[in-house]
Structure formats: C-alpha cells, structure tokens
Amino acid sequence: MAATVSPSRREPLVSQPHLRTVVVLAAGEGKRMKSALPKVLHPLLGRTLLGHVLSAAAPLEADRTVVVVGHGADQVRAHLAEIAPDAIPVLQAEQLGTGHAVRIALEAVPDATGTVVVINGDVPLLRPETVSALVHAHEQAGAAATVLAAEVPDPTGLGRIVRAADGRLEQIVEERDATPAQRAIREINAGSYAFDVVRLRDALGKLSTDNDQGEEYLTDVFGLLNSAGEPVAVHVAPDHVETLGCNDRVELAALRRLLRDRINEGWMRTGVSLLDPETTWIDVTVALDRDAVVDQNTQLRGATVVGSGAVVGPDVTLVDTVVGEGATVLRSHAVGAEVGPGASVGPYAYLRPAARLAGKAKVGTFVEVKNSEVGPGAKVPHLSYVGDATIGAKANIGAATIFVNYDGVNKSRTVVGEGAFIGCDTSLIAPVEVGAGAYVAAGSAITQDVPPGALGVTRAPQRAIEGWVARKRPGTVSAEAAERALRAAEGASSGAAAASEGEAIHGDDHALGGESRGGDTATD
C-alpha cells in the first residue's frame, strides 16, 4: 500500500547557502523528573525528547551534529548510536552551564565554519519549520547571533528577552538575575539559537560565572556581542507552545497531549477519520492512508501503517504493525504483525511478532498468533493459540485448537494445508503436517502427519456406564433429574426392554465416533 507521508517527514524548507553545525545540549540531569532515565531519553509519542529535537534540526542538513552529554552519558550515547549514528557525542563531565557546554562542543569541531545552531535538548515540540525559519532569518540578516523567542502567558523560570527602546535586543537575563522590571517581561528565550561560529567562539571565551548560579551562561553571549557592536537579533516563534520545555513528568504529560493534538489534527487534515481524537494516541512515526478510520481509545505506535478504508479500534493497540486496506481490527493488541487487506482481527485477539495474516483471513475472539502465516481467507475464529504455524488458504481452525509448538526445549512448526478443516479442541503437536483438504476430528491430539483428504482422529471410543449416577451420586440434582428422565422414558415405551444392570459398557465400536457428523467437529 502507498503509505501517506507523515507530517514529520516534510521536505527541507530552506536551501543550504552555508555550512552548518548543530549543537544539542543534553548533559543536564533533569532532577525534577525524579528518574533513573536521563531527562532527554524520556519517550514522547514515538521518539525520545532528544530524538524530537534532532528531527526538528534534520532539515538543516547540518554538516555535523554535536550532542553534549553528561548525566547518563552512556545511555544517551547508546541511544544516539541507534537514532543518529553520525552525531558526535561530546562529554561535559561537570555541568558548568550552557555556555560551557557549547564551548566544549565547539572544541570537537575546530574547523567549523558558517552557522552554529544550538538547541536545548528539552524542547520536543519545536517544529522543523521553526528551526529552519530561525536559521534562515539569521543568515539573511547577517547577524552575529539570533535567539528564538516567544511571548508566553507565564514566563516563570525562563530567561527574559530585554529589548532597547527601539526594539533591538540588548541582552538576555535569567530570571534569578533579573530586576523586578525585567521579570515582568513575558517575552522569553525559547532555548534555540543561531550563531556565526567565529563570533560565537570569541564571545564564549569571554563568559564569566558572575551570576546567581555561578555558571557560564550561553545567553550572556548576546549581551557581550551587543556591547561589542555586533548585530544580534530575535526571531519570534509563531506559536509559543513549540517552545515549551519539559522539567517534570507533569509537564511531560502536558507536552504529550499537545503533541497528540498536533499529530491528530495533521492526520484528519490529510483525510483520516479519528472518531475520538482525545483518546487516540498516534506516534510521529506512524503512517495512515486516506480514509483509514481510527475509533476511540486506540494507540498506534512505532512503525505502524494503516491502509485505506481499514477500521482500527475501539480499544486497540498496534505496535510496529501493518494493517492492509479495508481490514478491521477490534479491541485487540498487536506487536510486529501484518494484517492483510480485508482481514479481520478480534475482538480480543493478540497478534505477536511475525503473525502474518493474508488477505481476508480472520483471527477472532481470544486467539493468540505468533510467528505464523494465516493464509488467504483462512479462519481461526475462537479461543486458539497459533504458534510457529503455516495455515493454508481457506483452512478452518475450530475453536480451542492449540498449535503445540514447544516441547520445553525446542520450538517446531506445524503446517495446515489449504482447505483443511481442524475440529474443535484439537492439539496439533509439532512438528506435524495436516495435508490439503484433510479433516481432523474434534478432540484429537495429532502427532502424525494427516495425508491430504484424510480424516485424522485420535479419540478414544466413548463408553456409557448405565446407572452410574444413581449408584455413585445418589440424592444429587443429577440423580433426581436422571430418575425423572428414565421414568418418563419407561412410561413412553412401556414394555420396552428394562435398563441393563451393573457396569455394562456400551462401547461405541464405531472407531471414528462422530466422524460422520462433520458439523460437530468444528465451529464456524
């Protein structure tokens, strides 16, 4: 199916007139997260905070990307190796401030020329378009430094943009160093910047630690350059929501809701129906085709793709799962699965990795499928476990069939041929093969191959031990019911032979017991 390009995979919006270096600051601990996981590694709808920031910078096609690591450096490095193997991790052993962090980062790229873009690692809602516009404005203006700013309702804790009477940037003042008048300013530093590398290096060498935190502030670069007569600029973000940082888990949850709304709106505008956007959580990495329908309380995660006309939900979680055109998935959980076009899943199915359902296949209620192919039009409607199996086209697997794939040491495969019919409550004990068009009688434990067109049956002959209940369970509800039934039958066939005495065994000498009543062997 042709997956629609997700909103996060847009084309680069700016040309590349300059060489660029991106620096992401990710050494801080994020104390208020109260977590063993470094703050920048917390997940948010398909990417970590750091992953979101890197992807916002991706359209710049930077020559090099440097990530300053510190707290949890090993974990952050390992994550970078996965998501951005070309990025250069640089260790800031002690967090001596954002200015110090950038100074260390630039030591790793001594030959950098052109523009250096610095982004705080904790602003995951920043959009690629905004970063591109910041850099574009900076380069067009030939500024020495440009800061991304935003007007916010509550500026508490953030650096304030201090402008001169003519509107030009004078300096950036941290809240704890600000005068009461400066604290009243609601235009804040959003934590993303563009710099001319030569002038940035020069200013970083002049930073002092003469402030409330005793740190080297990157933000002081603006005041220094301004005093030296260098042009410094402010670029205002179109929406302050993009610039929201994340300091604790309450803020993280708020960011998640904001990102959810942005993603959901994007999909609805491309022609996807979301029946309840507030309870629909779609990772940025997911792709949905036009006219897909997502019903309420549904999570679509990772590399999930949903085809045109498919209906997913309510109450569905899909992780790395591909759903074909016109398929339905209802109240189910799937990880690493494929659901073919027109196939039907659930309610209450569990598809595990490498469960592959062909077109129009059906996996129904309380069915678990793992590492198996369910052929075109094949049905596994109820209460079954299908593990390590290949099920042919249009085969019918009766209720409570178990594919016994594990002997405690090894896993083995079961093959069920095209058009085969497996009776209810059957164990197919792998490795075993049921041939094309073969039947298996309900209640069988199949350990040997069943040839094509044959009936496989392992049932013991049925016995009826007459009068057993009256003798062994006298006075019970069953005994009373049996007595009434037997009396009624006697009355009806007066003169008929009396019930036999003792423990006579009426063995059913019909070895296949019930095989002639094929309709009893499976459910549909």
- Of 97 and 419, CB closest to Mg ion: 97
Q: Which does 364 bind (CB under 5 to 8 A by kind): Mg ion, ligand UD1, none?
A: none
Q: Is the separation of the CB atoms in 297 and 315 below 8 Å? A: yes
- Could you write out the three-class secondary structure of 212-232? CCCCCCCCHHHHHHHHCCCCE
Nearest residue (CB) to ligand UD1, 150 versus 343: 150
Least Å distance between CB 390 and ligand UD1? Answer: 50
Q: Does residue 298 bind ligand UD1 (CB under 6 A)? A: no
Cα 167 → chain centroid: 46
CB 285 within 8 A of CB 265: no
Q: Give residues 7-46 in contact with ligand UD1 (rule: CB under 6 A).
A: 25-28
- Binding span for ligand UD1 by CB under 6 A among 5-13, 78-86, 117-125, 479-487: 117-125
Catalytic-labelled residue, pool 100, 136, 333, 382: 382
Directed axis angle between helix 128-141 and helix 49-57, to 10°? 40
Measured CA to CA in angstroms, residue 16 lies from 21, 361, 386 at distances of: 12, 50, 53
How many residues bind ligand UD1 (CB under 6 A)? The answer is 27
Which is nearer to ligand UD1, 76 or 323 (by Cβ)? 76
245: contact with ligand UD1 by CB under 6 A: yes
The neighbouring-strand residues paired with 195 are 116, 145
Query: Minimum CB separation from ligand UD1 for residue 52, in Å?
Result: 12
- 171 binds ligand UD1 per the rule CB under 6 A: no
Smaller CB separation from Mg ion, 223 or 245: 245
For helices 197-204 and 220-227, what crossing angle results, to 10°?
100
242 binds ligand UD1 (CB under 6 A): no
Residue nearest to ligand UD1 (CB): 159
The yes or no reply on residue 223 touching ligand UD1 (CB under 6 A) is no
Q: In 3D, which of 119, 109, 101, 69 has the Cα closest to residue 204?
A: 101
Helices (H), 230-269: 249-269
Least CB distance to ligand UD1 at residue 110 (A): 20
The item of Mg ion, ligand UD1, none sharing an interface with residue 218, based on CB under 5 to 8 Å by kind, is ligand UD1
Concerning whether 382 is annotated as a catalytic residue, the answer is yes
CA distances from 177 to 101, 159, 185, 193, 210 (A): 20, 9, 13, 21, 10
By CB under 5 A, name the binding residues for Mg ion.
245
Torsion of CA 226, 174, 251, 280, to 10 degrees: -10
Residue nearest to Mg ion (CB): 245
Identified binder of ligand UD1 from the candidate list 46, 59, 72, 159, rule CB under 6 A: 159
Q: By CB neighbour count within 10 A (0-12 exposed, 13-18 middle, 19+ buried), where does 398 fall?
A: buried
| Element containing residue 311 per DSSP (H, E) | strand 311-312
Site string for ligand UD1, 67-106 (x = CB under 6 A): -x-x---------------------x--xxxx-xx-----
Is residue 365 a contact partner of residue 382, using CB atoms and an 8 Å limit? Answer: yes
* Residues marked as catalytic: 382
Q: Under the rule (CB under 6 A), what is the footprint of ligand UD1?
A: 25-28, 68, 70, 92, 95-98, 100-101, 120-122, 158-159, 172, 174, 188-189, 191, 217-219, 245
